[in-house]
Every structure is written in C-alpha cells, then in structure tokens.
Homo-oligomer: A and B are copies of this chain.
Amino acid sequence: MALIVQKYGGSSVADADSIKRVAKRIVDTRRAGHDVVVAVSAMGDTTDELLELAAEVAPIPAPRELDMLLSSGERISMALLAMAIHSMGFEARSFTGSQAGMITTADHGAARIVDVTPVRLREALDEGAIVIVAGFQGFNRDTRDITTLGRGGSDTTAVALAAALDADVCEIYSDVDGIFTADPRVVPNARKLDVVSAEEMLELAANGAKVLYIRAVEYARRHGVMIHARSTFSSSVGTYVLGPGMTVPDGHKDAHKGEHAHKGEHMEEPIVAGVATDLSQAKITIIGVPDVPGKAAEIFKLVARSGANVDMIVQNVSAAATGRTDISFTLPKADATAALRALAADQDEVGFESLVHDDQIGKLSVVGAGMRTHSGVSATLFEALSVAGINIEMISTSEIRISVVVRGDDLAAAARVVHTAYGLDGDTEAVVYAGTGR
C-alpha cells in the first residue's frame, strides 16, 4: 500500500470519454490498494478558449482577473473526474488550489509555490477518499487572491503535492510512453529509457525534450520526489526519473529486467542517456565589436534588460589587424526582436558594426551523467557529424551535456547519426501517439 500522486494533462481529459478512461485508471490504482491523489489540468483547449474570450473583452486583461478566469478550467475537469469516479462506486473529492493548501507568491500568471498545507487532502485520504486537485493554481495568503502557476504548472502541482504528502511516486501521464533517447518523431528507432537521472532529465528538458517541464523536475529533485513519466493510453511501465539515492520500485524493476535484460545495458551506467533536439532558438551575431575589456558584459546587460533569455554564447578569436571581434549567441525565437531592438538602440555606445539575425538554426544536445568520467564522448559526436557532412556552428558544454548548433534543416539527420553513434538505436520503431501531451 503506497501513496501515489498522478497528474493528467488536458489531452487526457479532453472529453467525457477521456475523463471516464482516466477515472477507470485512477480506480484501478485504488483497487490495487493504494491511496491516490490526482492533479488534473483543464479539459483540452479550455485554457486557450478562455484566453480568447479574455482578449475579446479586454486588450490587456487584468492579471488578477485572468487568473480567476483561467482557474475555472481545472474546476470543471476535476469536478467531472470526481463524478466519474463516484459513479464507479468509489469515493472521490475534488479540491481547488486554495482548498488544497497550494500557497504561492502573488505573481499572477507565473506564481511560485511557497508552501503546501494539504490538511484537507490528508483528511480526505484518511477517510478513504480519492483526492482530485486542480492543477496549475494556488492562492496568495496576503492578497487572498487566486493565482496560476504558468507554464508547466500542473506538473509542478503534482510534484509539490507528492513532496508535501511524502508520496511514494509522482506519476506524470501524457500521450507518450515515457522519456526517449531522442524525439521519436525525429529519430524513429529511439528507445524508451527505463530510468533517467534527475540531472540528466533537467538537461534533456532544458534542451528540447518536451515530456516533462524543467520546473517540475527541479522541484522533484530538490524535494526528493520520484517521477514516473508514463502514457495515459497504455499500462506499460514508463520512465523513472531518479534523484540521488532513489531506486526503481521492486515490481517495476523486475518487469523491466524481463523486457530489456538481454541487452545488458543496465549492468553499468550508460554513458549517454539521450539526444535532445530543439528548433525553437534563433542566433544573433554582433559583428565588429571593439575587442576591449568589458564589451561582452555591456552587450549582455543590454540583452538581459530586453527580457531575452540567452542560451549559448560564442566569442570569435579577435582579428589582430582590426582590433575587433564577432560575438554570437542563441536565444528563444520569441525573444529575438526585443534583443535586436535593444542592441540597435545602443549601437553607437557599444561601437559594433552590424547585427545578423538567423532563425534557421537547430540545436542538438547529447546528455549523459556518464560523460563526467568517460573521455572521448565529444570526439564521437564531432566525428559522427563530420562523416555526415554536417557543419557545426557553435558548441557549448556542461559537465553532463554537449550541445552544438547546426543548420535547422540538418537537425533531424544530425540527431539520427549521433543517436546511432552512441549505440542508442532500438530494434523497433517507437510508437508515437498524436497530440502534445499537455
């Protein structure tokens, strides 16, 4: 008998039939003897529809009211889910973010969790009920107003509940089977990982893997929550995201041994966990920057003030003859206009010659905790790309990751050759479901 937190995204509860399917899944978990707490997102496109309505009545909706509006979405899905469970003969009770004790900062639309006081959830669990909690929302103690957590909010709700209730596992359901060695839509013979370390998962999520939100993974690692990423549409074991000292639960360990033991891949820690791809970034190159101390700082202060989130930076070797150099950096495509505008406005002061904007790039990242102790990992990457004739434009590394920027058109081919080079290819094609998992 364990306490299991489950999270279901909007596509898992998009209509009445989906809700009944999810209800059955929850009831099955209860029948197996476990206590169950569920965090649920708004149905399908509800949030987008509400945002559209808001845009119709007000050009810039008041943030407090926008949160009041959006928080109604989970209220609908959670009440329906509780009813569906009820009609299967099980006791279920739904709770809003504030009823669940999800206490946040007052930053409407992007509130951070500051405390979780799940008194009412504990009471309901003690009374034998299945607990359903509205994902994505909380409330602020000072203003007594309702808040929403922003992107990845429901995943974060689930992980925060798992931490506060000391749950055995936090199951994050989506429309994919778990975490793959690469995006199966890019690399068809990508394999599902049975286990990934939290730090690897953070690098994968930060570099383009979309199954889990980095914010939820961070919260889980900090609070010692074990995440199990799995599919709403199958009952097979997904991927366990393990923090320091965690091990896969007994039952599931056996299952995966039976499945994969012949490959011998779990005898020692694999060097590379996976290959992440990301087409969402743009590159800005600042040409002819005076090669004097403090120029880089000046430039990136300007960029930061424009609100842009800089990822990779490369400063070319200075050409001695001119005393000038070029600086390139990548950032989310959506941030590029603001950054370009900020730089152009101060061109004379900074003293650079021109700006080049390039939104046709792709980023490929190889992630693996094993890299730390294995030499030659980057050599494998560069050789594979070189053989395939793919040009590397930028490189950045962390202790457990190497990222390269290539042409966007080359990204899929690059991912496939690198995936093969690290011996990650599976025997069969991965199953890809329609939809987005959110």
Show the binding face of A for B, using Cβ within 8 Å: 16, 19-20, 23, 50, 53-54, 56-62, 64-66, 68-69, 71-73, 75-76, 78-84, 86-87, 92-94, 96, 99, 120, 144
Contacts and interface: CB of A to CB of B under 8 A. Distances in A.
A144 B123 CA distance: 12
Given A65-B82, A75-B72, A79-B68, A57 B20 contact: yes
25 contacts: A20-B57, A23-B57, A50-B76, A54-B79, A54-B83, A57-B80, A57-B84, A57-B87, A58-B84, A59-B87, A62-B82, A62-B83, A62-B86, A64-B93, A65-B80, A65-B86, A65-B94, A66-B79, A68-B75, A68-B94, A68-B96, A69-B80, A69-B83, A72-B72, A75-B75
A57 B83 contact: yes
Contacts of A69: 75-76, 79-80, 83
A68 B59 CA distance: 30
B16 A57 contact: yes
Contacts of A16: 53, 56-57
Where chain A touches its partner, the secondary structure class is helix
A59 B19 CA distance: 14
Contacts of A82: 62, 65, 68
Of A69, A79, A94, chain B has the most CB atoms within 10 Å of the CB of A79
A74 to B, nearest CB: 9
A61 B76 contact: no
A14 B306 CA distance: 39
A387 to B, nearest CB: 55
Contacts of A83: 54, 57-58, 61-62, 65-66, 69
Given A62-B92, A69-B76, 15 more contacts: A16-B53, A16-B57, A50-B76, A57-B80, A57-B84, A57-B87, A60-B87, A61-B83, A61-B86, A65-B79, A65-B92, A68-B75, A68-B82, A69-B80, A75-B75
A406 B64 CA distance: 55
A86 B58 contact: yes
A60 B87 CA distance: 7
A131 to B, nearest CB: 13
